[in-house]
Amino acid sequence: MFNNASGGANMATAILRLPAVKARTGLSRSTIYLRISEGSFPKPVSLGGRAVGWVEAEVNAWLNRQIEASRKAAR
């Protein structure tokens, strides 16, 4: 099959399109692209033409880091 973002084989890599990324993160389109330009959000991958998507594992890892940072700040 495909390699996943963590380097493992035989696991399909899921690609999320922008509406799914917005729903998962709660961020707007402009905020997502601003954070990409700042280097604080995963870059999308080209799917051909004008289509892009995000590797699900990278978005999930970003979300986990945000949750962890939020919990540390609250202590």
Q: What is the pLDDT of residues 11-56, one digit of tens each?
A: 789 999 999 999 999 999 999 999 999 999 999 999 999 999 999 9
> Which comes out higher in pLDDT, residue 39 or 8?
39
- CA distance linking residue 62 with residue 38, whole number of Å: 14
What are residue 16's DSSP bridge partners?
A: 54
Return the CATH class of domain 15-73: mainly alpha
Residue spans per domain, the chain: 15-73
pLDDT digits (tens, 9 = 90+) for 57-68: 999 999 999 999
- CA distance linking residue 11 with residue 6, whole number of Å: 10
Cβ-count burial of 21 within 10 angstroms (0-12 exposed, 13-18 middle, 19+ buried)? buried
Angle in degrees, CA 61, 67, 73, rounded to 5: 135
What one-letter code names the amino acid at 68? E
